[in-house]
Chain A
Amino acid sequence: MTDLSAAYIDSLALNAGAIKNGNDLVRKNSFQKLSRTEDGTLLFGECKGSGKEPYSCSADFVKAEQPVFRCSCPSRQFPCKHILGLMYAYAGGKEFTVDELPADIADKREKADKREEKKKDTASAPTGTESKRKVNKNALAKKLAAQLEGIELAHKLVLQIVQSGLAALDKRSIKMYEDQAKQLGNHYIPGIQAAVREVLVLTGSADNPESVYSEAIEKLAALHALIKRSKEHLNARIADPERPLDVATVLEEKIGHAWQLAELRELGRVRENAELIQLCFHSYTDEARGEHVDEGYWVQLQGGELVVTRSYRPFRAAKHMKEEDTCSMVVQTKELFTYPGDLNARVRWEELTMRELHSSDRSDICSFAERSVASAVKAVKNQLKSPLADKNPVMLLHAAQIAQIGEGYVLVDEQGARLPLAHTQRLNQPTMQLLPYVSPNMLTETAVLVMFEDRLAEGKLVAQPLTLITNDDIVRLFY
């Protein structure tokens, strides 16, 4: 805790507003009391609020990877500005008096310890039976039947849209389809429901329908394939209730299964003591799902895989949920959970600590870069041909040179093979125009994080550069 940095505190804050408010409290000297315990594991203080009594807040680092925050204010944002302010005051070098551990917190620590022990007891007690959770077969059969029914419904919808043609989609028919898509909500297939809505939102929102038809047809075809695959899979599961969830592909997640950490653990999709470095961050609004999505692309320092974190903030709860952010430190986690997936598997972690990035980390990243454009393209095409796969895989490539070609830009590998750089529709923000202003040594013998996009109509596979990494520096062209 002694190395509490402002960047780390920023990363705890729910949103930029909280960061500002927390810092403002320190600046305005709103803390009437700033204390810490002798051993430095607890910061506590009192902050003036709008009420008569000051709020007492504390940050408990007795477990550094899982700090506990407490505050007497009624804010629903957590950690609140008072807790953040307390930590900013500490990080900013304000004077903290050394005080006894307050009795109530000692109490709470004790209780937490007991809870922890109890958890361990229950976890370790029935060895052998732990991995098999009981499945209610009847309930499962019912659920599968409902899912199948929903998928039928979705399929009808998709066929109906294609039958009458995209040109026939007007406001009224879209509204009608939307209503039908709503009914899919009763069938435990949120993924398919979102995919249907995506097509409707896409065609409904465009000013010029012609411009979105190609994308809509691609989405419809993918949805069609997904529905067919789901039907097969679900029918097989109904026939054989012992059949496990599909872990080879993203099918389950596409149908709408939310993988639980316990499930992933059972399936052995856990890596221990992993370290990750974020190379790119992307936040966007998914109208079809009704959620904000914060996406981070990370390289895993032990194996070099490029993985992605995705956190969803439903519109309704967005205010009270943490907005993820760029992370410039190395994340260390005891357990890294990996979802089934393709080139960029989704990952999650529960607990983390952070450390500063060393130059050896950067050379490690560079060493993970794929050195041949040809084999990268092969891997990408291999993924793209599956209709379920993510259409914008992200890879780390080694570039002998990044250069200009006429009006465009291109990545050249050691064999002289070229990969055209262009901006992807997915990110909707060009990054190439920064290239002329980057220092030249970032543009030769460098590792480049790129996002691919296949432009079917033009028959061109292009990539958008997101981040440049050399042994000395990391330049983020995107976020």
Chain B
Amino acid sequence: MSIPLLRELHEDVRRLSIAGANMAIDDLRLNRIQPQLAQLGEKAPIFKRVAEEVAAVTKAQPEDAAGKLLDLAVLLQAVLHTQSTTEAPGELSALGSSTGAVASTNIPYRKLKPLMDALTQRGPGRLEIITQGKTDGAFADLRTALPAVHALRDSYSEIADYVAEHVIPIVGKAVLPMLQQQFDRDGASGDARIITTLYKLTDNREELWPLLSSVSKEAALPVRLAAIALMADLPHFEEELLDLSYARKKEVRGAALAAMSHLSSSKIDDRFMEALMGKDAELSIGPIQNYESAALTLQLLHYGKALIDKNVPSVKDVELREKLGSVIQCLETRAEDGSVISFLMAALENNHLEFKGTESLTSEAAAILLHSNDINALTFMHEQRSEKEYFVGYSFKAALRIYDAAQVYELYESYFKTKKGKYMSDLLQTIYQYSHNSLIDILFEGRSRQNLAWDERWVDRFIELNEEELVCRLATKPDKKVIAYLVEKSKVAPQLLKQRTIHLFYALFRLGHRDTPDMVIDALELAAQKSFHYLDREAQVVIAMLPSSYAERIQQIADKVTYEYAKNQLKQLAEQLAAKPEEINEKQEGAGFLSWIKNKIY
């Protein structure tokens, strides 16, 4: 049979259907094929039929052409469908992978399909589907493996990172060949993830070392950086890393220095010093901080002293100052070293670090010393306050660590006489830093933290200074003066239900002031007149602290509120108050109260 002829004819039918059936009448090609078909038809009747149909098309009236053409198409398709081949010549090679721990394909369509789409397509909400898929164990399914590898290249990096970190390890070693096949050294950040996951997943890491080494020298930048990061921890690569730390690209140098910080040798010590003294100072600070080497510490101190010596005569040299700054930053992780402490103390004492525009140097040095918890250093800092006025904030912090509450008060209360002092804000900031608002603690930590012990006398001092937040924080006893002050303060615009008002109410509750519930109700009533949109969580806690007998009144206020959301909040609170257990009514603190509050507010 002459099948090629029929295929040719089929092409012609296609062409004519596209161009329009009118063109088929007296079509040249059809006319040429028709006699050949007729001739073949003498032997095989099917060709005869085809020949007849072709003739019917070419001789059709214009209005019948379409029908005839379609008749021909139907016939041709029926014939050709029986003539397709299933030939597949070539050498057979076996398939299958025995490394695969995953073989199951049990995840149903409705779970699998959204997950596959999330891994391979774009759009919002995908990360959630993927995390859910992970919790459901969907990644045990073989069919998710390739899409997961695909997702390593996702342009939304959070998905790609999540998949690299949490999903691929679950899919397991079965993806190794896929990763290997997909890796493209000239690719982009996706390939960086691929090489990292590949390396982490493989059993025989040494096999990949040559690849790491060649990729680290020449590949797309993100891939290079990933390879260099993988070389950390491996003494095998020390020489290569040292070479790479001289690379032309800044990012590569940075990555090499960072990788080197996990190793240790005198060559690396020298390279770090070289980098710090040269143009790569900025790149080397982080790695040096992470690098553990006593020898390097010595070199740093040596270099620092040399800088200081130079610095004394020429205070204007900005570059030197910056270098000194870098050295001090490098010392940050070396505070436990006695020589570092004495270096910093000496530098502070001799005003080496004190010149215009060096506040940051001073504060860094001071922070390192504070962090060291070295008693000599702390005492030294405490004493510095008399020498240098600007240092009083640091001295105060140091004093808090070495003296008890009463001593601290006596030593430092004189600095808190007025709010006008030049360095007052440093001091107040310190108190804020070392005291807590227990209401905020309840909400964000779920527990109340132990306050640093503060002397009672501070409260009076802050009343004088009119620091209401600090009074709220530090007051522990229902002293008349304190209560009067807080009550007075809470009268300022209570209807706005501002945070400060809420804190005042909370402090009054804490101090056991009897009128507090009525004050809260009054404020809420005023607020309801003005209408408000919602209650924040702090306000909810304060309302929840009302005795249960107030449930009715909260309900009444809720009815007056116009905004639906706030109304519902109040109604819920009223319900909870009504159901408040008796023992919690009695004692508004402690673990029982906290767990009750947490249950109600969250």
Q: Which residue numbers of A lie inside 8 Å of B, CB to CB? A: 7, 10, 15-16, 19, 158-160, 162-168, 213-214, 217-218, 220-222, 224-225, 281, 283, 323, 325-328, 373, 377, 381, 384-387, 401-406, 408-410, 412, 417-420, 433-443, 454-456, 459-462, 473-477, 479
A403 touches B103 (CB 8 A): no
Q: Mark B337-364, 1 if CB is under 8 A from A, else 0.
A: 0000000000000000000000000000
Bound together, the chains give a CA A111 to CA B342 distance in angstroms of 94
Residues of B close to A408: CB separation below 8 A: 88
Residues of B close to A222: CB separation below 8 A: 74, 77
Query: Can you identify 6 A-B contacts, CB atoms within 8 angstroms?
Result: A10-B108, A283-B109, A420-B87, A436-B95, A440-B95, A440-B97
Extra pairs beyond A217-B18, A455-B84 (14, CB < 8 Å) = A159-B66, A225-B74, A323-B110, A326-B107, A326-B110, A381-B81, A401-B92, A433-B146, A434-B146, A437-B100, A456-B80, A459-B3, A459-B83, A462-B86
Residues of B close to A438: CB separation below 8 A: 95-97, 100, 103, 142
The answer to whether the Cβ of B174 comes within 8 Å of any Cβ in the partner chain is yes
Give the shortest distance, in Å, between B358 (CB) and chain A (any CB).
58
Give the shortest distance, in Å, between B387 (CB) and chain A (any CB).
63
Residues from 192 to 230 in B contacting A, C-beta threshold 8 Å: none
The answer to whether the Cβ of B447 comes within 8 Å of any Cβ in the partner chain is no
Bound together, the chains give a CA A10 to CA B97 distance in angstroms of 32
Bound together, the chains give a CA A352 to CA B556 distance in angstroms of 56
B97 touches A220 (CB 8 A): no
The answer to whether the Cβ of B112 comes within 8 Å of any Cβ in the partner chain is yes
Bound together, the chains give a CA A281 to CA B108 distance in angstroms of 9
Bound together, the chains give a CA A168 to CA B23 distance in angstroms of 13
A404 touches B93 (CB 8 A): yes
The answer to whether the Cβ of B538 comes within 8 Å of any Cβ in the partner chain is no
Give the shortest distance, in Å, between A12 (CB) and chain B (any CB).
12
Residues of A close to B18: CB separation below 8 A: 165-167, 213, 217
**Contacts between chains A and B (CB distance < 8 A), count:** 202
The answer to whether the Cβ of B71 comes within 8 Å of any Cβ in the partner chain is yes
The one of B17, B95, B178 in contact with A409, judged by C-beta atoms closer than 8 angstroms, is: B95
Residues of A close to B112: CB separation below 8 A: 326, 479
Bound together, the chains give a CA A167 to CA B73 distance in angstroms of 17
Residues from 477 to 534 in B contacting A, C-beta threshold 8 Å: none
Q: Please name the residue on chain B nearest to A422 by beta carbon.
A: B88
Residues of A close to B106: CB separation below 8 A: 328
Residues of B close to A283: CB separation below 8 A: 109, 113
B98 touches A439 (CB 8 A): yes
Q: Please name the residue on chain B nearest to A324 by beta carbon.
A: B109
Residues from 249 to 294 in B contacting A, C-beta threshold 8 Å: none
Residues of A close to B67: CB separation below 8 A: 159, 224
B69 touches A443 (CB 8 A): no
A224 touches B73 (CB 8 A): yes
Q: Known contacts A401-B92, A438-B97: does B81 contact A454 (CB below 8 Å)? A: yes
Q: Mark B160-201, 1 if CB is under 8 A from A, else 0.
A: 000000000000001001100000000000000000000000
Give the shortest distance, in Å, between A212 (CB) and chain B (any CB).
11
Give the shortest distance, in Å, between B143 (CB) and chain A (any CB).
7
Q: Please name the residue on chain A nearest to B111 by beta carbon.
A: A16
Q: Known contacts A165-B21, A377-B86, A460-B86: does B81 contact A479 (CB below 8 Å)? A: no
Residues of B close to A221: CB separation below 8 A: 70, 73-74, 77
The answer to whether the Cβ of B145 comes within 8 Å of any Cβ in the partner chain is yes
Residues of B close to A163: CB separation below 8 A: 20-22, 65-66
The answer to whether the Cβ of B85 comes within 8 Å of any Cβ in the partner chain is yes
Q: Is the contact region of chain B dominated by helix, strand, or loop, or is it mixed?
A: helix
Residues of A close to B177: CB separation below 8 A: 436-437
B109 touches A443 (CB 8 A): no
B98 touches A456 (CB 8 A): no
B108 touches A168 (CB 8 A): no
Q: Please name the residue on chain B nearest to A17 by beta carbon.
A: B110
Q: Is the contact region of chain A dominated by helix, strand, or loop, or is it mixed?
A: mixed
A461 touches B86 (CB 8 A): yes
Residues of B close to A455: CB separation below 8 A: 84
Bound together, the chains give a CA A323 to CA B20 distance in angstroms of 43
Give the shortest distance, in Å, between A334 (CB) and chain B (any CB).
25
Bound together, the chains give a CA A198 to CA B40 distance in angstroms of 37
B146 touches A402 (CB 8 A): no
Q: Mark B1-21, 1 if CB is under 8 A from A, else 0.
A: 001000100100110111111
B82 touches A403 (CB 8 A): no
B88 touches A477 (CB 8 A): no
Q: Please name the residue on chain A nearest to B19 by beta carbon.
A: A165
Bound together, the chains give a CA A217 to CA B110 distance in angstroms of 35
Q: Known contacts A217-B14, A479-B109: does B97 contact A418 (CB below 8 Å)? A: no
A443 touches B20 (CB 8 A): no
Q: From B87, B89, B93, B108, name the one whose CB has the most chain A CB atoms within 10 angstroms.
A: B108
B78 touches A387 (CB 8 A): yes
Bound together, the chains give a CA A323 to CA B86 distance in angstroms of 37
Bound together, the chains give a CA A197 to CA B81 distance in angstroms of 25
Q: Please name the residue on chain B nearest to A373 by beta carbon.
A: B86
The answer to whether the Cβ of B42 comes within 8 Å of any Cβ in the partner chain is no
The answer to whether the Cβ of B313 comes within 8 Å of any Cβ in the partner chain is no
The answer to whether the Cβ of B319 comes within 8 Å of any Cβ in the partner chain is no
Q: Please name the residue on chain B nearest to A166 by beta carbon.
A: B18
Give the shortest distance, in Å, between A211 (CB) and chain B (any CB).
12
Q: Please name the residue on chain A nearest to B14 by beta carbon.
A: A217
The answer to whether the Cβ of B476 comes within 8 Å of any Cβ in the partner chain is no
Give the shortest distance, in Å, between B44 (CB) and chain A (any CB).
16
A476 touches B143 (CB 8 A): yes
The one of A16, A225, A403 in contact with B110, judged by C-beta atoms closer than 8 angstroms, is: A16
Q: Known contacts A19-B110, A224-B70: does B105 contact A475 (CB below 8 Å)? A: yes
Closest 4 CB pairs of A and B: A165-B20, A440-B96, A326-B108, A384-B81
Q: Please name the residue on chain B nearest to A11 by beta carbon.
A: B108
A164 touches B20 (CB 8 A): yes
Bound together, the chains give a CA A385 to CA B95 distance in angstroms of 34
Residues of A close to B93: CB separation below 8 A: 403-405
Q: Please name the residue on chain B nearest to A385 by beta carbon.
A: B78
Residues of A close to B70: CB separation below 8 A: 158-159, 162, 220-221, 224
Q: Please name the residue on chain B nearest to A438 by beta carbon.
A: B96
B97 touches A213 (CB 8 A): no
Bound together, the chains give a CA A473 to CA B105 distance in angstroms of 10
The answer to whether the Cβ of B90 comes within 8 Å of any Cβ in the partner chain is yes
Bound together, the chains give a CA A404 to CA B114 distance in angstroms of 30
Q: Known contacts A165-B23, A475-B103, A479-B109: does B74 contact A405 (CB below 8 Å)? A: no
The answer to whether the Cβ of B94 comes within 8 Å of any Cβ in the partner chain is yes
Q: Please name the residue on chain B nearest to A381 by beta carbon.
A: B82
Q: Known contacts A385-B81, A420-B86: does B66 contact A439 (CB below 8 Å)? A: no
Give the shortest distance, in Å, between A88 (CB) and chain B (any CB).
14
Give the shortest distance, in Å, between B577 (CB) and chain A (any CB).
18
Bound together, the chains give a CA A164 to CA B23 distance in angstroms of 9
The answer to whether the Cβ of B582 comes within 8 Å of any Cβ in the partner chain is no
Q: Known contacts A437-B174, A437-B177: does B88 contact A420 (CB below 8 Å)? A: yes
A477 touches B143 (CB 8 A): yes
Residues from 19 to 43 in B contacting A, C-beta threshold 8 Å: 19-23
B105 touches A476 (CB 8 A): yes
B17 touches A418 (CB 8 A): no
Give the shortest distance, in Å, between A171 (CB) and chain B (any CB).
17
The answer to whether the Cβ of B91 comes within 8 Å of any Cβ in the partner chain is yes
B84 touches A461 (CB 8 A): yes
Q: Known contacts A221-B73, A328-B106, A387-B74: does B10 contact A437 (CB below 8 Å)? A: no
Give the shortest distance, in Å, between A222 (CB) and chain B (any CB).
8
Q: Known contacts A418-B86, A438-B103, A454-B84: does B65 contact A403 (CB below 8 Å)? A: no
Residues of B close to A164: CB separation below 8 A: 20
Residues from 312 to 348 in B contacting A, C-beta threshold 8 Å: none
Residues of A close to B100: CB separation below 8 A: 437-439
Q: Mark B130-165, 1 if CB is under 8 A from A, else 0.
A: 000000000000110110000000000000000000
Q: Mark B48-63, 1 if CB is under 8 A from A, else 0.
A: 0000000000000000
B97 touches A166 (CB 8 A): no
Give the shortest distance, in Å, between B114 (CB) and chain A (any CB).
7
Residues of A close to B65: CB separation below 8 A: 163
